[in-house]
Amino acid sequence: MSTASSLANICLAAVMRQLSTHEDEMEFLPRDVKDRCLKLMSRRGLITDKNIAKVVHRKTKVLSLSDSDGISDGGLDVAARLCGASLVKLDLNAPGSIERTTVTSTGLLALAPHCPRLQIVFLRRCALVTDEAIACLAINCPHLRQLNVSGCRRLTDAALSSLARSSRFLRSIDLTRTKVTDRGLTDLASGVCSQSLVEVHMGHCVELSDRAVIGLMKNCPNVTTLIFHGCPLITDQSRLAVEAVGSPMKQLTWTVY
């Protein structure tokens, strides 16, 4: 590591330790330095509604906010207006088993129209996210490839119907502990993403039955990861349906009751 690089790291570490003192000046830093600050602040959970405008810019591609408790709908709105056109990944996963309640559908409704290049969205345990927000993402983010809404307990079949109509490139979806039923999974499996889907997690979705698994196996030939443990209405028929397809599975997890 060069002397200049080592000195830069020492300076950035010092800024992180006294962040409140330096926040206002960060707005005037070069983009590459802002990127390094953003990465460090994300890792330490230091991004807030107040400082997010200081470290994002119109070329920012990734926002990792999973450890930042200080982000709310207002911060998402600011970020969308500053870097939405370049944003490719948004991570709002709640850490551990905690639910995130500072971000709601309001924030995502404000963000999605500004983010046409968004491909990866993580919303695990964002408890206040609703079907309306997922529909807005599906419509405004046509390149959506990976979506994690595990633990978003308000989501229903309406969210899947929106994705089925608009998300042609969707490859991976995690629906664990949502309110989806067979109807929603059937819509998704027969929608525009039927050929692109590779990974589906739907563990602990208590309304799902064999119909959902059979529909996925019938209509989505490229699925190689399928998780449906903790679904009490699913029987051994689902396992047989998976075996009948004959395609190699990278991961298959289920519970037979």
CA 97, CA 202: separation in Å to the nearest integer? 18
Helix (H) or strand (E) holding 81: helix 73-83
Instruction: Express each pLDDT in 181-195 by its tens digit.
Output: 999 999 999 999 999
Output the six-digit token pair for 36.
Answer: 């390094």
pLDDT of residue 19: 64
* Residues 82/56, Cβ–Cβ less than 8 Å: yes
Instruction: Express each pLDDT in 111-156 by its tens digit.
Output: 999 999 999 999 999 999 999 999 999 999 999 999 999 999 999 9
For the beta carbon of residue 99, count every other beta carbon within 10 angstroms: 14
pLDDT of residue 134: 98
Q: What residue type is 257 in one-letter code? A: Y
Instruction: Express each pLDDT in 197-249 by its tens digit.
Output: 999 999 999 999 999 999 999 999 999 999 999 999 999 898 888 888 877 88
Domains in the chain, CATH or no CATH each: 3-254 (3.80.10.10)
Q: Which residue has the higher pLDDT, 63 or 239?
A: 63
Does position 252 have pLDDT exceeding 90, yes or no?
Answer: no
62 DSSP β-pair partners = 89
Does position 7 have pLDDT exceeding 90, yes or no?
Answer: no
pLDDT of residue 5: 56
Does position 105 have pLDDT exceeding 60, yes or no?
Answer: yes
DSSP state of 98: P
**Rounded to the nearest 5°, which phi and psi values hold at 5?**
-65, -40
Q: What residue type is 121 in one-letter code? A: V
Does position 43 have pLDDT exceeding 70, yes or no?
Answer: yes
pLDDT of residue 95: 84
DSSP state of 126: E
- Between the alpha carbon of residue 108 and those of residues 11, 16, 21, 26, 58, the distances in Å are 35, 28, 30, 26, 18
pLDDT of residue 9: 67
Does position 18 have pLDDT exceeding 70, yes or no?
Answer: no
Confidence of residue 253 (pLDDT cuts 50, 70, 90): confident
Does position 49 have pLDDT exceeding 60, yes or no?
Answer: yes
CA 3, CA 161: separation in Å to the nearest integer? 55
CA 79, CA 49: separation in Å to the nearest integer? 9
